[in-house]
Structure 1
Amino acid sequence: MATITDTKRRDFLKLAATATGGLFIGFGWSSCDSPKVKVLSTDEILAQAKNFNAYLSISPTGDVVIYSPNPELGQNIKTSFPMVVAEELDADWSKVRVLQANLDTEKYDRQLTGGSGAMPHSWERLRKAGATARHLLVAAAAKTWQVSAEEITVENGVISHKGSSKKGHFGEFVAEASTMTAPEDVKLKEKKDFKIIGTPVKNVDSKDMYTGKPLFGLDFYREGMVNAMIQRPPFGMKIKAVDESAARAVPGVSDVVVIGNSVAVVGEKTWPLMKAKKLLRVEYEPDGSVESTADHDRLFQQLLATGKADVKRKDGNVDAAFKSAAQVVTAEYQCPFLAHSPMEPENFFAHVQGDKVELVGPTQTPDRARQDTAQLLGIPPENVTVQITRLGGGFGRRLRTDFALEAAQISQATGKPVKVTWSREDELTGGAYRPAVRYRFEAALDAEGNMIGYKLRGVGMNAGNSTRENNFPSGAVDNVLIESIDHKSSITTNAWRAPITNFLAYAEQSFLDEVALAAKKDPVQFRLDLLQRAKTNPVGELGYDVDRMIGVVKTAAEKSNWGKNPDVQQGFSVYFSHRSYVAQVADIVMENNTPTLKKITAVTDCGMVINPTGANHQVRGGIVDGMGHAMYGNLTFENGLPKQRNFDTYRLIRLKEVPEIDVHYVDSGFDPTGLGEPALPPTGGAIANAIFKATGRRLRSQPFIEQKEFSDIRLEIRRA
């Protein structure tokens, strides 16, 4: 049994109490003392629950209610969090109900969704929540039956004593348990004894989603609220003049409001507002650089050649290595801006009443929404409440708070509760995008084909650091130089699923295949040789676990029958991001002289898999996302506006274009690590490398379908 010491126990227990005989355990996520439990009424418990970030409640019927604190956007955290609590509690999963918690920063220190970090952060805390409740219930049963607690067993919500044949469900002991003080230490299960964790469990919201119950921000409605839609300026422009007369004349429009650099039309229904917005006559003037894609292409070339860069990593003597090289391989890779394209466009509700604000909607960062709103309106943050709805996708777009601030501004200006809704055109033209990036790679090889030098120079548009300088192959090469240039653009950018690595992985892994080809080595063995070097004689800092990466590489080669079928052309890719390791192999078969993508084999080491159903959805979803954007996605600009304004011109992957996906996991013995993002980065590289193997065409830019190297390739997708 694992033991949790008091220093970590203090992060957990808030209170345990009875309410009409029920046990209530609230658990905070920053430090707190474990008080003697007290009795609360049902109304008091509801009042507490409204403000708690997460809690566990057991009713006299034996039903268990678990509040999930983190925003749910499809990453399955609302199901997997409760599974962990229920496991240590030994609950009957059929009697577990899950509710979304609202924002409470006093009792929760990471109430956000981003960076695939929710489960790694909360894993132990959640286990302690269930284990502490179980301990109290067992102690209560032991006292009631006058037996030793060590002789009691718990299974599926039933507490039993074999010697006396006594048994009862949780609800029978909650009154007694609520009078007890939680222990200083609590024992956790050995992983081998898990019964819920590791089993396939359906999404707890499935039924509500299937039956159309209100869950998402777009579903939210408040009696007396008005709706608003907004005309936003092109990037690099500001309002010069507004003629709102035609918009105001549309029946159903109650107001037109200028907020900052945007114009909002307000009314009861959204359809009249969409018509009115098109009738706004807004004149703009430059307010900085008004950019076009053609300008970016020229700028990339210039900055790669002569731009001043930040040195992110320098190992050995790079100049000497390249000067002595028997062969030098050089290539450049480029990616475009991309929209996040969540199925549910941005929306948010706000009600400003004096110095108090109520916010409701889909946000990945509820506390950031609160803080930004408070700063905007000049009020204390504690005067802003945030109710979190389920998110219809986010992929990083909802880390920002612009849509929440718009709602707050309009509510303040109109004196009414307001719901702001973005159209699909708004989402594509007024969003914050994945930054466009260009990379130059250089590799120095000795006479035996060993890589003795490696250089990477990245240029990004508002990308920050466009490299991951401590990722593979850093640490496996004696002489390394990694540099980054960040160009400030008027086009707003944002974290996009697997930030930076979503494209960098494709570029790095494609380039490593180019180097392996020049070295006359098998691509998989070439990577394994580098990893072995990093393991036995690492150079500088390693930002990755060599053994875990070797594990997924070897397993992917085995599961895909790498190199064993001469009729199958395969491309390999492996990447580490967000604490997890994913290797992928793409299989292409030539059919009637047409390359046909048959299958992608994916092997993931994300530590322990909590829920195979949810995990498979994340891996497959990441692969589909990675493939779709590598193949088709492109956002180009002209005079500060995207040329692609809806899905008729902004191409997304279609269902018929998804190949067979074969998913496997490596159990490395680690606690759970990230899974919402890591499967996306390797996908583009695996497909591009397979296309090269099948056609001899090297794809160095995305989207693939727009490259001249791809122009006469008709890539078919066929499921087995």
Structure 2
Amino acid sequence: MTPSKKLTFSRRSFLKTSALAGGGIIIGFNLFNSCKSDVKPAIDLSQLNYNDFNAFIKISPEGKVTIFSPNPEIGQGVKTSMPMIIAEELEVAWEDVYVVQAPLDTANYNRQVAGGSQSIRHGWTALRQTGATAKQMLVNAAAAKWGVDASECSVKEGVISNAKGETFNYGDVVNEAATLEIPEEVSLKDPNDFTIIGQGKGNVDIDRIITGKPLFGLDYKVEGMLYASVLRPPAFGQKLESYDASAAKSLPGVVDVITIGKKVRAYNEAGNRNWSMVMSDSDKVVVIAKTTWDAFKGKKALKAVWKTDTPLESTEKHDEILNGLLTGKEFNTRRKDGDVAKAFANADKVIERVYESPFLPHNTLEPMNFFADVTDEKVNLVGPVQTPESAQKVVADLLGRDIETVSVDMTRMGGGFGRRLYGDFVYEAAEISDAIRKPIKMVSSREDDMTTGVYRPAIKYRIAASIKDGKLTGYHLKEAAVNSNMYGLIPNFFPAGAVENYQVDTANYRSNITTGAWRAPYTNFLASAEQSFFDELAEELGVDRVKLHMDLLENVKNNPDPKIEYSPERLQGVLKLAVEKSNWGKSESGVYQGLSVYYCHNTHVAEVADITMENGIPSVKKVTCAIDCGIVINPLGAMNQCKGGVLDGIGHAMYSDFGFSNGVPQSNNFNSYQLIRMGQTPKVDIHFIENDIDPTGLGEPTLPPVGAAVANAIYKATGKRLTKQPYMSNMNVEEKILG
């Protein structure tokens, strides 16, 4: 962004309320995306009425600033980084900033969503405008009191000064500022002048997290609240036929046993099912109890009979179906450049690989839960959800209520990873409370989460490339997936634009197993497949791995294509930085390196994995990660996000497996489903490209590339190409080269 850029916006987007009970000014901005944060309050803010506001700034007569945050916080750090953006332009000391979580308010906010690593990207300009406009109003008020032009004033850490050396604290002029016109244009700071952005700031909730203060959905409770545990079908494709609740009702603490599901069926039959509606049409048995433990014990005591209306699916069936889709003629072409068939027909050699990945659960640290209190007058919902607006709309439809009577308050989330994009747990809670007309908390166990949840779909990719006269002449990617909807992004990612003859096809099998977005959707496995393939391709071509990528990216630069999502220059930049920082090609004896470079979620990443072999088992020792995400708002938070993505990617690529037998998940807890262990975590070195480009997201982009970096390093060590995840279970995959 250019220094001191002038920006204009509608007056209607800027809300100014002139009077609070104790004086001061509330300034709110209708953000395109979000605004948020939280710092330990040194003053009591509990008497303020926050319900009428969305994203706004409150400035007290003492000069303190409170930023109200509309978007969900799932551990991605936006509750810290977004207020930093406002505070930067407002010119206040970070120590004087406090944050409060706002409720859902669709009238004043757009995109109150946590997903896709988009919060910072979409909120960047609006958040800066919010702070800069507030600052200008305060400066104008001070200038008017002094009788000078506003251009003669300067601001530092909430103190306004004039040429004579006179000063006002922001709190000294808040009331005067409330009577002034809102500026139609403001100047934004030159990034070189940032004093908050780019400085590492701790998580604003960290003290409350480590001391166990109520923050998360599981912490929320009200007087007289009951707890609910839901018995769902044990196999996908089954429905409830009958049940016996006599044993459950006899247990201490159990209040009642009911069924739910009729409202969901009616909703679905009316054609209202939307992307966030993933609930089964079956009735479910619900145990209502005085404590969570009582509810769990009551559910175990239930005796239910389930009927099967459709054939139950297994991993073997999915494998057979996906293989058929890869070789069949039923598919959709998403992009076609040149003539791939002709390039393959004229090739000296065709290299082909099939890459496979299993279903995966989300495994959030905090299991699904939600609070609902349904009365004749209103529906009050509280808890951890990534899509509060969708939850509000569906609940209103399910219960036949006006949407204005449904409120959603958001708690901090103990993980999301895409699972909490889907509001099934919200709808269950609402239907339960509606049935008994008491406040309840629906709580899932770990086993509930893992066996009746939403999963990353099983996917297979067939990638083929043609070589003629030592050059890459054609590239064909075909996807076969269970319940996939990935079609929007992958056709225009690398290597689109880099190969003259290029084609992307997709085929899909509709399953009754509920699937959805999983951390870094669209790319979490695709990157592993493609970047593993390019490593092999470089070997077949007899060219250096780095040079192959650099040359292909030069092709893109020489033939610009507006449909291309990535920047070839920025991909080259992270590749060069990763090579430099990892000591690529110069590792010590016994250390094997693998490389991967990828673009997704608007961010460019390159990674190098270092592994050693210990008793014939690969051990990842280090990952060097180079990232171009534009301006880094909070380096401390960004570092944590990037390291978490790398470790998550390694763990699932190496160890995690999940399948079905007759519709029943084959793992129900961590004793049979392996996540990465502490002793398996490598050192992760993060390096950011420094530039003044507007920032993009970091919650997801570092995960996709690391699977291929590890697989390519394992190949260097063992001579085996790994094409099926998890790698540790498939170390004997056979190679297949078609000449």
TM-score (norm 1): 0.94
- Asked if 1:267 corresponds to 2:289, the answer is yes
The aligned counterpart of 1:489 is 511
SS of match in other structure, 2:576: helix
Would you say the 8 A contact 2:32–2:126 is kept in 1? no
Partner of residue 547 from structure 1, selected from 569, 576, 582:
569
Q: CA deviation at 1:11?
A: 6.9
Would you say the 8 A contact 1:578–1:674 is kept in 2? yes
State the distance in 1 between where 2:526 and 2:334 align: 15
Give the 5 Å matches for 1:414-433.
414-433=436-455
State the distance in 1 between where 2:329 and 2:205 align: 50
Q: Which moved more, 1:88-97 or 1:287-296?
A: 287-296
* Percent identical residues: 48
Q: CA deviation at 1:51?
A: 2.9
The aligned counterpart of 1:221 is 221
State the distance in 2 between where 1:529 and 1:168 align: 58
Would you say the 8 A contact 1:362–1:391 is kept in 2? yes
SS of match in other structure, 1:709: coil
Would you say the 8 A contact 2:238–2:309 is kept in 1? yes
Q: CA deviation at 1:288?
A: 2.5
The aligned counterpart of 1:37 is none
State the distance in 1 between where 2:715 and 2:344 align: 27
Q: CA deviation at 1:465?
A: 3.1
Q: Which moved more, 1:399-408 or 1:269-278?
A: 269-278
Q: CA deviation at 1:46?
A: 3.4
Would you say the 8 A contact 2:473–2:501 is kept in 1? yes
The aligned counterpart of 1:561 is 583
**CA-based RMSD:** 1.9
The aligned counterpart of 1:715 is none
SS of match in other structure, 1:218: helix
Q: CA deviation digits over 1:434-480, x for unaligned, max 9?
A: 000011110001122x2100011111111123670111011111111
The aligned counterpart of 2:479 is 458
State the distance in 2 between where 1:666 and 1:276 align: 55
Q: Which moved more, 1:279-288 or 1:588-597?
A: 588-597
Q: CA deviation at 1:236?
A: 0.7
- Asked if 1:231 corresponds to 2:253, the answer is no
SS of match in other structure, 2:473: strand
Q: CA deviation at 1:302?
A: 1.5
Q: Which moved more, 1:121-130 or 1:21-30?
A: 21-30
Q: 1:55 to 1:101 in 2, by over 3 A?
A: same
Give the 5 Å matches for 1:274-673.
274-354=296-376, 356-448=378-470, 450-465=471-486, 468-538=490-560, 541-565=563-587, 567=589, 568-589=591-612, 595-673=618-696
Q: CA deviation at 1:2?
A: 2.9
Q: 1:355 to 1:325 in 2, by over 3 A?
A: farther
Letter in 1 for 2:376: G
Letter in 2 for 1:253: V
Q: CA deviation at 1:124?
A: 0.6
The aligned counterpart of 2:4 is 2
State the distance in 1 between where 2:305 and 2:124 align: 53
State the distance in 1 between where 2:228 and 2:614 align: 53
Letter in 1 for 2:436: T
Structure 2: unaligned runs, 5 residues or longer: 34-43, 262-282, 735-739
Tell me the number of residue pairs that the alignment of Structure 1 and Structure 2 aligns: 697
State the distance in 2 between where 1:595 and 1:235 align: 36
Q: CA deviation at 1:595?
A: 4.5
Q: 1:45 to 1:127 in 2, by over 3 A?
A: farther
State the distance in 2 between where 1:471 and 1:10 align: 39
Would you say the 8 A contact 1:340–1:433 is kept in 2? yes
- Asked if 1:78 corresponds to 2:79, the answer is yes
Would you say the 8 A contact 1:603–1:665 is kept in 2? yes
Q: CA deviation digits over 1:171-219, x for unaligned, max 9?
A: 1111111111111111111111110000000010011111111000000
SS of match in other structure, 2:51: helix
State the distance in 2 between where 1:540 and 1:108 align: 31
Would you say the 8 A contact 1:11–1:29 is kept in 2? no
State the distance in 2 between where 1:623 and 1:273 align: 38
Q: CA deviation at 1:43?
A: 11
SS of match in other structure, 2:370: strand
State the distance in 2 between where 1:213 and 1:4 align: 43
State the distance in 2 between where 1:65 and 1:43 align: 9
- Asked if 1:158 corresponds to 2:159, the answer is yes
Would you say the 8 A contact 1:444–1:452 is kept in 2? yes
State the distance in 1 between where 2:587 and 2:123 align: 44
Letter in 2 for 1:63: K
Letter in 1 for 2:29: F
The aligned counterpart of 1:716 is none
Would you say the 8 A contact 2:325–2:508 is kept in 1? no
Would you say the 8 A contact 1:30–1:108 is kept in 2? yes
SS of match in other structure, 1:51: coil
Would you say the 8 A contact 2:58–2:66 is kept in 1? yes
Q: CA deviation at 1:9?
A: 4.6
State the distance in 1 between where 2:45 and 2:449 align: 41
The aligned counterpart of 1:109 is 110
- Asked if 1:142 corresponds to 2:143, the answer is yes
Q: CA deviation at 1:596?
A: 4.0
Would you say the 8 A contact 1:548–1:668 is kept in 2? no
The aligned counterpart of 1:100 is 101
The aligned counterpart of 1:21 is 23
The aligned counterpart of 1:170 is 170
The aligned counterpart of 2:267 is none
Q: CA deviation at 1:307?
A: 4.9
The aligned counterpart of 1:683 is 706
State the distance in 1 between where 2:674 and 2:575 align: 32
Would you say the 8 A contact 2:53–2:102 is kept in 1? yes
Q: Which moved more, 1:9-18 or 1:293-302?
A: 9-18
Q: Which moved more, 1:315-324 or 1:17-26?
A: 17-26
Q: CA deviation at 1:165?
A: 2.1
Would you say the 8 A contact 2:373–2:439 is kept in 1? yes
TM-score (norm 2): 0.92
Q: CA deviation at 1:44?
A: 13
The aligned counterpart of 1:34 is none
SS of match in other structure, 1:622: helix
Letter in 2 for 1:463: S
Letter in 2 for 1:621: G
State the distance in 2 between where 1:455 and 1:572 align: 22
Would you say the 8 A contact 1:312–1:469 is kept in 2? yes
Would you say the 8 A contact 1:477–1:530 is kept in 2? yes
State the distance in 2 between where 1:672 and 1:539 align: 23
Q: CA deviation at 1:669?
A: 2.8
State the distance in 2 between where 1:57 and 1:519 align: 62
Q: 1:108 to 1:45 in 2, by over 3 A?
A: farther
Q: CA deviation at 1:258?
A: 0.7
Letter in 2 for 1:205: D
Q: CA deviation digits over 1:667-693, x for unaligned, max 9?
A: 243101111110100010100101101
State the distance in 2 between where 1:44 and 1:247 align: 42
Q: CA deviation digits over 1:69-124, x for unaligned, max 9?
A: 11000000000110000000000111110111110000001111111111111111
Would you say the 8 A contact 2:724–2:733 is kept in 1? no
State the distance in 2 between where 1:4 and 1:522 align: 47
State the distance in 2 between where 1:11 and 1:615 align: 34
The aligned counterpart of 2:66 is 65
Would you say the 8 A contact 2:32–2:111 is kept in 1? no
